Amino acid sequence: MGNKRGSQIVEATIVLPVIILTILSMIMLLVFFFSCLTTQMSVHQHLIRKAVSSKTMIGVERYSRETTKDIGGVISILMKKDVSSSCYLINEVTAIRLGEAINEKDQ
């Protein structure tokens, strides 16, 4: 009976650290994904601000940022992701005025 209890303790000392490291690795991975999401949201907000304040009639704005996260532990890994996006800038007011000017010139 005492031998059985000893084997359970040995199994627990082997399995529990592996389970704890797996859970901590998953938490660190979630932190990295949250960081990527935050970076992607800031890129999107930057492009919206540029589109609203743009004075050009038609154009394309590109913006990119990089997210890096050092995930430590038993194995240290540097995770990196580039987030880039583009936005079409169209100033409708200028386009309508230009279209009206062209129509008046043709008539």
Position 2 scores a pLDDT of 54
Q: Which residue has the tokens 């998953």?
A: 26
pTM here is 0.67
Asked whether 65 and 83 are in contact (CB, 8 A), the reply is yes
Distance (Å, rounded) from C-alpha 65 to C-alpha 7?
Answer: 52
pLDDT of 11-67, one tens digit each? 888 999 989 988 888 888 898 899 989 999 999 999 888 888 877 778 888 888 988
Q: Which domain holds residue 88?
A: 2-106
pLDDT band, residue 74 (cuts 50/70/90)? low
* Total of domains in the chain: 1
Cα(29)–Cα(77) distance, rounded to whole angstroms? 11
Contact 53, 36 (CB under 8 A): no
